[in-house]
Structure 1
Amino acid sequence: METRMNTRRTVLQAFALTALLTTAATVPAADWPTERPIRMIVPTPPGGGTDIFSRVIANHLGKALGQTIVVENKGGANGLIGQTTAAKASGDGYTILFTYAAAIAVNPAMQPAMPYDTLKELKPVAQIGASGNYLVVASDVPAQDLKSFIDWVKKQPDPVNYGSWGIGSGGHLTMEAVKMQTGIKLNHVPYRGSGPLVTDLSAGTVKVAFADTVSTLPYIKSGKFKALAISGTMRAPVTPNVPTLSEQGVPFKLDSWYGIFAPAGTPDAIVKRLNAEITKLVGLPEIKERFLQMNMAESPSKTPEEFGATVRRDMQAWGEIVRTNNIKPE
């Protein structure tokens, strides 16, 4: 009898402990985000496109949550410094990361020793936007589309130089993917950012580049550059006449995007709430106008799980390009 009572007491205590732990585990999600401001880590210096857009998102997201969101810039090492800070932070809902596709998906393949495990230590929350990069040439290059560009390159006695905004950048890896599929020979000339690249392209120092869809636009509109193709899965809103690589016979289905992540321990309830609020705010007129200014298609609506699948797919695809071409960091 005593044994049965002791057993029953033990079972009841176990149930009580389980209930207590379950309650404790849900308290942060239930009270969040009333305790203190939320820190949004941005892995770039202040003033750039990623930083500016992050502050627009932070302002609207903070209003939706009824809590202040403080942007904290931690630039350097192609996003690794800021992303490491976020990955190692407490998963209490008060730290989130606003970052970009290349920093998340390319770094694991480029870096010999990652300071964190992307898939295990960062939790995908929401994708924001989707776009590509332009294949642009100087106006005197006798090409009007991808096919004529490939034909022109193949006729040159020496490999043609092309520029990108750095080793391992989206522009660099996209052109290497084009080379893999078409057999054309080009030499990569890396620049330290889009500004110097566009300056040299406009001066004729290089005739070919994969460059971003914002800084090149004035030159495309003036006729100084010709945009022959855009990477990614869709055409840019400002240049609907420029077809994608895939539409021109070179399959390429990787988009550039911004994304919000959280430390791995962040409760699912918080992640889902953030995703729901972000999904609503990207439909706001101001945000849509910002997408247009950035020549970026409107943001796709994805659950955290769907965004996570995008991250895994992109890491695999970009990694294959890096490994196949033996691309090393500077």
Structure 2
Amino acid sequence: MFKSIVASLAVSLPLAWSGSALAQQWPTKPVKVVVPGAAGSGTDITARIFTDALSRKFGQPFVVDNRAGANGMIGTEYVAKQPADGYTLLFSYTAAQVVNQSLYPKTGYDGAKDFAPIVQIGSGGNFLVVPASMPVKDLKEFIAYVKAKPEDELAYGSWGNGSGGHLSMEALKQQTGVKIRHVPYKSSAAANTDLAGGVIQVAFSATASALPLIQAGKIKALAISGPNRLSTMPEIKTMTEQGVKFDLASWYGMFAPAGTPPAIVNAINAEVHRLLQLPEMRETLSKAGLSDWPVKTPEEFGATVRNDVKEWGDIVRRGNIKVD
């Protein structure tokens, strides 16, 4: 038995050393970080915060490469097909990584199988917002208000077909039976403008874009999706707290092509977690609507991705949601 243990160590120790050596040697050249969204988008702005920090840590430039289009599919598919050598990474978001494959017949990638999950960056929800003049103060009263109206008389806005705002409202409709028409916009900010003006009556809005209008008294928040309240508006209860279970959260995340060496994945994971402990980093990301800071290993983040593929996919299938 002793000999077998020694033999086992003789095999495993060089592998451990080689992994450690690999993490120390990498990177020896610039690292491309693909963002499947446009310059100036929330994903792009957040990605640049981390790429700047990673450049300082690892001594090589981490360069953002914006590849927008097709609801994030263009950039995501590009990364899935790159060499698994740690020199092409993906900085993505929930919809592009886990929702698209349920919305579209062909995405060119599998968000769970074609990537090595590196690290989850925060977790948060969207505000359910209505005009300030609507005579309701919480989710229960809103549901009753909608049900008292003729079917589809009221309209809700989102930042596009298949967006988090669209699917969150569909989840609410599926659980409560309310009937509300969908009006897709090009951005959450555009939907909020029409909401404040009374053109539409409700929306699930990205918290960062909704906060200024809430604070100005032009719209009001009735609930927030996801498992946690937002630290900057802790008085707004979650949907689950108000009787409509909806714990799915939005997040940012870093990924690499499947097969990327674990030593590289773990090195990035450790550094991002260190950054997320910094108060100034959390303050910056809180303003972007993130309310929780889960510390997950790459394997645990992978489990989150697989669960979200199923849960968001169930919403799409139950609602028979199609995207042109």
Instruction: State whether TM-score is above 0.5.
Output: yes
Which structure 2 residues correspond to residues 1-330 of structure 1 after superposition, within 5 A? 29-30=22-23, 32-159=25-152, 160-330=154-324
Deviation at 1:27, TM superposition (A): 9.3
TM-score (norm 1): 0.90
CA distance in 2, matches of 1:50, 1:32: 29
Q: What one-letter code is carried by the residue in structure 1 that aligns with 2:315?
A: I
Q: Which of these two proteins has the greater Rg computed from alpha carbons?
A: 1
Quote how far apart the aligned CAs of 1:31 are.
5.4
Identity %: 50
**Which portions of structure 1, spanning 4 or more consecutive aligned residues, are displaced by more than 6 angstroms?**
none
Q: Which moves more between the two structures, 294-303 or 181-190?
A: 294-303
- Per-residue CA deviation, residues 291-328 of structure 1 (Å, 9 max, x unaligned), is 12223224211100110111011110000010111111
- In 1, Cα distance between the equivalents of 2:20 and 2:296? 27
Q: Which runs of 5+ in 2 are unaligned?
A: 1-10
- 1:121, 1:154 → 2: CA distance? 43
Give the residue type in structure 2 aligned to 1:131: G
Taking the aligned partners of 1:157 and 1:115, their CA distance within structure 2 comes to 42
Q: Is the 8 A contact 1:291 1:298 kept in 2?
A: no
2:132–2:196 contact (8 Å) kept in structure 1: no
Number of residues paired by the alignment? Answer: 312
1: CA distance between counterparts of 2:211 and 2:27? 43
Please give the secondary structure, in 2, of the residue aligned with 1:166. Answer: coil
- Give unpaired runs (5+ residues) of structure 1: 1-17
State the alpha-carbon separation in 2 of the partners of residues 183 and 43 from structure 1: 34
Task: Give the letter for the 1:55 counterpart.
Answer: R
Q: CA RMSD in A?
A: 2.0
